Structure 1
Amino acid sequence: MKGPAAQRAAAHFAGRLATGLVEVADLTARPEALQRGWWAVVATFEGAITGYRFADVRPAALPPARVPWVRPGRWTSSMSRQDYVDGVLRIREHIAAGTVYQVNLCRLLTAELPAGADPLALAHRLGEENPAPYQGFLHTGTDWVVTASPELFLRRTGDTVLSGPVKGTAAPGEPFSAKDFPENIMITDLVRNDLGRVARPGGVRVTSLLRREDHPGLQHLVSDVQAELRRGTGWDDLLAATFPPGSVSGAPKHTALQIIRELERVPRGPYCGAIGWVDGDRGTAELAVGIRTFFSTDDGRRVHFGTGAGITYPSDPDAEWRETELKASRLIAAASGVGGSAASAGVLSA
């Protein structure tokens, strides 16, 4: 590929810098493309999966930004507090009726960006202020994704796959709520079942359950599920069995997705999708769940950030709203160039 957009395109994941964009592929139509070459991959929650194949991939630090990060305009939310509370109550009605056990309810924060804002500067800022296990950067040539995800969706080495669902959030030093532990177990079982659809008989194991992990500004409960895939399992089969990630959809997944479409007002896009890389030549890959993630639209003129919470029957609507604020506050403040929480700094609209 040639032209200014291709020259701007780059990716940085797991300590490797990728440049020289040579192909963009719709992987929902061509999953077999992942069998060769190194790809940066972005999957939207709605199911559009796009791959960007780069020719030059080498160990390297994140490149320096061309210009300092520019503070976005005021952030607005796709759901007001009352909208969100009403959504939680509606989900509890679904649970009481027996149609679903858990649903992840999310909202999208959006702000305007001035022309020329360099997402590399945002990636550096997040690396300094909110380091995460699955930090990543992708510029497609027109729009971009910057992630500080704490959650592993799929790590693949040959026919071995590991997933690390995150469910349960609390402020540092605070106890997890009574609902967090059963909710994590529920979603871990959902992931185990998803992977079981493409695993060898007896090939799925929960290798860690309810592990506590500390992250900047919060703590999580994390579990690990490992699977040995049936021989010949391709990416089309694996993604069809596991996507979208269970931790950001709900259980049963099909019904939870119907309720999400009913209650959420805008598409999530890369938020709650998957972001990462696939090395088809080596048979390795690492895709993170697209949480704690900024992404642009309109050729970089609008920036978005999603936040949400898992709703079960014991959920308190106000507490779930506060959880969405806890998850967003530190990163929105960092992206807005202010200290402390985003709410106290006045960068969020009511």
Structure 2
Amino acid sequence: MDGYAQFGRLEGRSPVEVVDLADTPEALDRGGVWFVVAEFDGRARAWRFADVRRGPVGSVAAAATPRARTAWAGPARDGWTSSLDQDGYEAAVRTVREHVRAGDVYQVNVCRVLSAPLAPGGPDGTPAEPDARALAQRLAAGNPAPYQGVLHVPASSGIDPVWVVCASPELFLRLDARPAGITTLTSGPIKGTATSPEGLGDKDRAENVMITDLVRNDLQRVCAPGTVEVTSLLGVEHHPGLVHLVSTVTGRLRPDVVTGPGTWARVLAATFPPASVSGAPKSSALRIIRDLEPVPRGPYCGAVGWVDADAGTAELAVGIRTFWWDRGTDGRSPALRFGTGAGITWGSDPHGEWLETELKARRLVDLASAAH
């Protein structure tokens, strides 16, 4: 396979180009369909494919070939390790609470990265990168999500490689071009997680309102005055094994942002990284995250999805419930990675936040493990 991508209704085959959005963000404005992976604390890249097809949402991953249905051989269920163990994570929660007490920050999303050895290898033992499409099909069957997808460009393609499989429930940005030159920008931040609606408490609601306000402020930087509004607040969404509180914020892009140079450079500068996975105030939260988290988040908590520059539309998810395959660099062995985290406020209980990260990871890690 020389490369494959599928997000929502779009499928791409045969990659022909990759751009670094830090250097050439204008690529997303010049035309074509681009599949995007922006790392939370690293590179932001977009790939263009020779063959792009449109179909029903989610149809491609669910209709994986018979070979893909049997090709996934994940790591052992007991082979996963965490960048922060329970003691380390709970200590980080207590540190954030002290920052809140001192008035440095209101909320910080603290995350950890799970890793399990996963060497290259095809189903018949031949050298090959792990079958990302096979994992995507397994997640689509066992954990359907509104923003599921896969982007795999192998190193053998001769193009800068990527390996990401996403089952995100959270919308980062949706761009819709409407008649009369109106372009709407929408975000759907998630804050508040429990096993049932009854488990959602005052802390979850307060945190969601706080982050929704931060998203509103982000969108106001590129939207016309008076057009940014919260169209839904504290909605309860049901997902496999858990529920989330979700709000929706929308606004109309200013005409100078739509027609001027560097539309996507300006939109991403105003909104990235996503508010729900950083904290408030965002600049202070990011500084604390750098101090507390021992490894980079990679695509986790970044942005994944697509941009159709011809149609003026886009859909980018927050890169949560996301796996990526690390080919092995800086002395590290190849490994499958998965991130999980929780939003920390003054009302956080360290052990309870640890359990929330376990809840968010459990189903997905089980699906990706060989023992499933």
Instruction: Return the match for 1:301 from 334, 338, 344.
Output: 334
* Counterpart for residue 36 of structure 2: 41
What is the match of residue 83 of structure 1? 88
> How far is 1:309 from its partner?
0.2
Please give the alpha-carbon distance, in whole angstroms, between the structure 2 residues aligned to 1:210 and 1:98.
26
> Which moves more between the two structures, 64-73 or 222-231?
64-73
Distance 2:44 2:7 in 1: 18
Counterpart for residue 327 of structure 1: 360
SS at match of 1:132: coil
What is the CA–CA distance in structure 2 between the aligned matches of 1:18 and 1:118, rounded to whole Å? 16
Tell me the CA shift for residue 214 of structure 1.
0.1
Q: Are positions 1:284 and 2:313 aligned together?
A: yes
Distance 1:301 1:266 in 2: 16
Which residues of structure 2 form unaligned runs of 5+? 122-129, 156-161, 178-182, 258-262
In structure 2, distance between residues paired with 1:41 and 1:273:
10
CA contact (8 A) 1:38 1:55 kept: no
Identify the residue that residue 223 of structure 1 maps to in structure 2.
247
What is residue 133 of structure 1 aligned with on the other side? 146
In the TM superposition, what whole-angstrom CA distance separates every residue of 1:81-133 from its partner, at most 9, and x where no partner exists?
A: 00001000000000000010000000000011132231211101100000000
CA distance in 2, matches of 1:84, 1:195: 32
User: Offset at 1:21?
Assistant: 1.0
The answer as to whether partners of 1:138 and 1:144 remain within 8 angstroms in 2 is yes
Matched-pair contact (CA < 8 Å) for 1:92–1:312: yes
- The equivalent of 2:10 in structure 1 is 16
Residue 346 of structure 1 corresponds to which residue in structure 2?
A: none
Q: How many Å apart are 1:173 and its aligned residue? A: 5.2
The one-letter code sitting in structure 2 at the alignment partner of 1:10 is Y
After the TM superposition, which parts of structure 1 deviate over 4 Å for at least 4 consecutive aligned residues? Answer: none
User: Which residue of the other structure, out of 169, 190, 201, is the alignment partner of 1:166?
Assistant: 190
C-alpha contact (below 8 Å) 2:100/2:346 kept by paired residues: yes
How far apart are the structure 1 equivalents of 2:189 and 2:315? 14
Output the TM-score relative to the length of structure 2.
Answer: 0.87
How far off is 1:320 after superposition?
0.1
Q: Does 1:248 align with 2:267?
A: no
2:301 paired with 1:272: yes
The aligned counterpart of 1:148 is 167
Alignment of 1:258-269 (within 5 A): 258-269=287-298
Counterpart CA distance in 2 for 1:174 and 1:320 is 17
Partner of 1:113: 118
AA paired with 1:157?
D
Contact conserved, 2:41 with 2:297, CA < 8 A, in 1?
A: yes
Q: Which amino acid in 1 is paired with 2:146? A: P
Deviation, 1:224, is 0.1
Which amino acid is 1:44 matched to? E
Q: Is the 8 A contact 2:197 2:236 kept in 1?
A: no
Number of positions where the alignment pairs a residue of Structure 1 with one of Structure 2: 333
SS of corresponding position for 1:239? helix
1:214-261 deviations in whole A, cap 9, x for unaligned? 000100000000010111320000000000000000000000000000
Percent identity, aligned pairs only, is 57
Q: For the residues of structure 2 that align with 1:173 and 1:274, how far apart are their CA atoms? A: 27
CA distance in structure 2 between the aligned counterparts of 1:71 and 1:51, rounded to whole angstroms: 27
1: distance between equivalents of 2:74 and 2:323? Answer: 13
Give secondary structure in 1 for the equivalent of 2:71.
coil
Equivalent residue number for residue 203 of structure 1: 227
For residues 57 and 320 of structure 1, the distance between their equivalents in structure 2, rounded to whole angstroms, comes to 42
Deviations 1:273-324 (A, max 9, x none): 0000000111100000000000111179311000000000010000000000
Q: Which runs of 5+ in 1 are unaligned?
A: 1-6, 340-350
Equivalent-residue separation in structure 1 for 2:139 and 2:354 (angstroms) = 24
Structure 2: how far apart are the matches of 1:37 and 1:119? 24
> Residues 183-209 of structure 1, C-alpha deviation per residue, up to 9 Å, x if partnerless?
000000000000001111111010000
Matches of 2:149 and 2:28, distance apart in 1: 19
* Distance of 1:232 and 1:297 partners within structure 2: 40
Residue in structure 1 matched with residue 260 of structure 2 by the alignment: none
Q: Aligned-pair distance for 1:337? A: 3.8
CA distance in 2, matches of 1:152, 1:71: 27
1:99 aligns with 2:104: yes
**Could you tell me how far apart the structure 2 residues matched to 1:222 and 1:34 are?**
28
CA distance in 1, matches of 2:144, 2:256: 36
1:48 is displaced (CA, Å) by 1.9
The alignment status of 1:55 with 2:79, answered yes or no, reads: no
User: CA shift at 1:178, angstroms?
Assistant: 2.1
Cα RMSD between the aligned structures?
Answer: 1.4
